[in-house]
Structure 1
Amino acid sequence: MKSWFSIFKSELSLIFEDKSILLTCLVAPLLYAFFVGSIYAEKEVKEIPVAIVDYDRSNLSAKVSWLLNASERVNVNGHFSSIEEALFYFNNLEVQGIVMFPKGFQGKTMNLEGAHVELILNNTKFLTSNEINKAVQHVILTVSGGVRMQYLVSNKIPIEQAKQKAQPVLPVIKSIYNATNNYGDYLLPVLLILILQQTLIIGFGQSIVHEFNHSMLKPLSNSTFFDFIKILSAKSIYYLGLYLAYLFVFFKLIFPHFYLTFNGSIGFHLFLGILFITTVLIYTVIFASFFKTTIGWTEVLAFSTYPLFLVSGYSWPIESMPRLLQLFANVLPSTPYFKVFNALAVEGANLSDITSELVHLLLLLLVGYGLLYLRFRSIRNRKLLRANS
């Protein structure tokens, strides 16, 4: 059995010899961080071009068009007499949406019969389509409230009472932990952490698959679990140090570069980062041990990023997922870590506020060691059976 330092040097040699691991662990984290971050660099979209198709040509449709153009997010980029004309500009991406007023829009609206306003959106850009949708809904609700109020006043109902009847429920929006009420500010911090997690899993997993099939982890029949842990610790210490350094760089440089909120002690964040990275490394060893080739490992993990993010509970509440997905989400290290990170960095929580998530992460770490021991016993027993047969 090689010494711990010899195994450590062998791992460094493997990293610099294997271009795939080198690019994944040394180049990809920073490259993807700035690439993904640049998508949300502005984080707000304004003056989104839309087209108006007005079959009604009434004062009310003209008023709604004017209000849309006056909104901060939307810019009316053309009025058309037919949907075919508007679709030409829409298909050429000169406008991102089309608002269509049907014939009889004013008459039906003023008579409180209700009129359908059709909206066509380019959903390839969810930020722009979402802003157009919100702007149109806001204007339509405002106009419909005014029409109802005018109708009530015409029926000799006092103005204050008419206001209350026209809009009995007024929305009051107060942004909590997101002053700009912007999806980019909410999403980007965790996406940056996700980049680190996925590049770590892919790169370290490639090294583990290589070792299980070609090198030090192959003759496990003559090794103890202590020897196994010795090898893994020597192999993983480099990744732990590297990704801890990445976390420091992200927190101190990349987060400020994109004007992202970051609260809490940097030391405590790095301590939590050690727990998270260690847990990810352990589970990576367990799952990578089932693969025969590094290409197979990379192909599978390359498609896991988005599903892992969706079930982590950050974009959708875990409690609203099917029971099976809830169980799966709760065995992912990212699930408690994302909650802890968001609570500390964005919401400014205290240690007492994250106790359950911290315990969750520690339990996953302990369970990981237990599963690692069982996996080691399984591999060693199988090798012993083959050697004796």
Structure 2
Amino acid sequence: MNARSLLAHEWRALIQDKRLLATLLFLPLGYMILFGFLYGQEKVLNIPIVYIDEDRSVLSGQILQAITSSETFELMGPVASEAELIDKVKSGVAYAGFILPADLSQQVSQSRQGEVMAIIDGSNLMIANRALSGFQEIVQTYSVGISMKRLEANGISPEQSSGMHMGYRLLFNPGNSYTVYLLIGLLGTVLQSVTMLGMTLSLTRERAAGTKAWNYFVVKAIPYFLIGLFNVVVALGVLTQVFHIPFLGKLILLFGLALAFVLSLIGFSFLVSLFSKTNVQATQITMLLVYPSFFLSGFTWPFSAMPSWVSLMGHLLPVSYFLHGLREIAIKGNGWGQISPDVVALLAFAVITTALTFVGHSFTKRHNREDELYESV
């Protein structure tokens, strides 16, 4: 067969495989449209923050008003102490806090540099960098003399007023490290890809061979379940021991989260295999679902900055809950209270997908039996 015949044969085969052709032609466009909407807001807005105003002066009031007016921040309210502020940030109620010390206006009026402090959750660099730049913009604005007429009205001369300096502290990732930030997220994505691909290929192969017993598929899932747990432990060990990623939480919580995550992936794999007749189809569907999941998970780009329908897609992916829980345990050192919603969601996902697969399997089995009876008649 010459090159011309081979080319013609390949085109015919491609045109006949409608699923592959649609994947090649429309999937890149679909992903670009999806990611375009995902990042359409262009920057993170309405970051929830809390504050401490010990100065209670005109100046501190103006700074808080500027923060309130900024599209970057959503002011949640005051807290009583720095310990409470840090607790709010650690628990996820707020992503940052702002402290206006008691002598702020006095320092400025006496031609000394006023000091303010920002405390920021550094576990998500997108949010942390945006919060830091937003705070700096506001402080720099006042530092160069914006709104000095309001200060004059209260007896402070612009000639007497000096600038302000903002100190900041990044919690949970003080070095602002992309290694800490990204490797945790990639861990969940890689584990999801490997577990689902292996499981769906195995199940699809058995279905293609004519295996119909439901309990056989359940038993077949056990090795992949154990391998999934093993991979979680080994991968996290590599991150902590080789790349020195901090792990501040309790291992028992990680084990519980990993258990729920692997169960959800097995349920997801059951469902994918139900719609796959060949290993090629199983691979296509798995990659179609897995590839965008890291971007949709809320790990890098927060759900609050996505359109609602894109955020809904992200919330329908098990990796979203695993990555959130993993960050809460490993980077922030939080306990059961912060990860329990993630564990419940993952277990619910496992139950729902397994139940849907069981119903679909029973329907397919009954439909095939009816076809066999009809053919025998």
TM-score range, shorter chain: 0.5 to 0.7
How many residue pairs were aligned? Answer: 238
Matched, 1:200 2:195: yes
AA aligned opposite 1:175: L
Matched, 1:211 2:206: yes
Work out whether 1:350 is the aligned partner of 2:335: yes
Alignment check: 8 A CA contact 2:276 2:282 kept = yes
Counterpart of 1:235 in structure 2 is 220
Match of 1:38 in 2: none
Quote the residue 2:253 is aligned against: 268
Distance 1:173 1:162 in 2: 20
Are residues 1:189 and 2:174 paired? Answer: no
Alpha-carbon shift at residue 368 of structure 1 (Å): 2.1
Compare CA radii of gyration and give the structure with the larger one.
Answer: 1
- TM-score by structure 2 length? 0.55
Q: How does 1:98-137 map to 2 (within 5 A)?
A: none
SS at 2:171's partner residue? coil
Alignment partner, residue 161 of structure 1? 161
Shift of 1:146: 9.4
Partner deviation per Cα, 1:137-168 (whole Å, 9 max, x = no partner):
x9xx98x999889xxxxxxx7655143xxx6x
In structure 2, the residue corresponding to 1:188 is in which secondary structure?
helix
Aligned CA distance change for structure 1 residues 211 and 334 (closer, same or farther; 3 Å): same
SS of residue matched to 1:314: coil
How much has 1:341 moved relative to structure 2?
A: 1.2
Counterparts in 2 of 1:189 and 1:160: CA distance versus 1, 3 Å = farther
Structure 1's 158 and 323: CA in aligned 2 closer, same or farther, altered over 3 A?
Answer: closer
Q: How does 1:31-42 map to 2 (within 5 A)?
A: none
Question: Take 2:160 and 2:282, find their aligned partners in 1: how far apart are those partners?
Answer: 67
Describe the SS at the equivalent of 1:173.
Answer: strand
Query: Match of 1:348, SS?
Result: coil
Task: Give the ranges of 4+ consecutive aligned residues of structure 1 lying more than 4 Å apart after TM superposition.
Answer: 144-149, 157-160
CA distance in 2, matches of 1:313, 1:303: 18
- State the secondary structure of the residue aligned to 1:178: coil
CA distance in 2, matches of 1:146, 1:366: 57
SS in 1 for 2:234: helix
Change (3 A) 1:344 1:383: same
State the one-letter code of the partner of 2:259: I
Q: Does structure 1 residue 388 correspond to structure 2 residue 367?
A: no
Letter in 2 for 1:243: G
Note the C-alpha offset of 1:308: 0.5
Measure how far apart 1:284 and its partner are: 0.8
1:339 aligns with 2:339: no
Aligned counterpart, 1:362: 347
Shift of 1:349: 0.7
Unaligned ranges ≥5, structure 2 = 1-124, 147-156
Counterparts of 1:313 and 1:357 in 2: how far apart (Å)? 13
In the alignment, is the contact (CA less than 8 A) between 1:209 and 1:292 conserved in 2? yes
After TM superposition, give the deviation of residue 270 of structure 1 in Å: 1.9
Identity of aligned residues (%): 21
Once the 2 structures are TM-superposed, how far is the Cα of residue 362 of structure 1 from its aligned partner?
A: 2.1
What amino acid does structure 1 have at the position aligned with 2:307?
Answer: P
| TM-score, normalising length: structure 1 | 0.53
Q: Tell me, in whole angstroms, the C-alpha distance in 1 between the residues paired with 2:178 and 2:239.
A: 18
CA distance in 2, matches of 1:333, 1:265: 21
CA deviation string 1:239-259 (max 9, x = no partner): 111121111212223322111
- Long gaps (5+) in structure 1: 1-126, 150-156, 221-226
In the alignment, which residue of structure 1 is the partner of 2:237?
Answer: 252
User: Using a 3 Å threshold, how does the CA distance of structure 1 residues 375 and 196 change in structure 2: closer, same or farther?
Assistant: same
User: Are the counterparts in 2 of residues 337 and 357 from structure 1 also a CA contact under 8 Å?
Assistant: yes
Structure 2 CA distance for partners of 1:162 and 1:362, relative to 1, 3 Å: same
Q: Residues 240, 219 of structure 1: CA spacing in aligned structure 2 closer, same or farther, 3 A cutoff?
A: closer
- 2:263 alignment partner in structure 1: 278
Question: For residues 353 and 328 of structure 1, what CA distance do their matches in structure 2 show?
Answer: 22
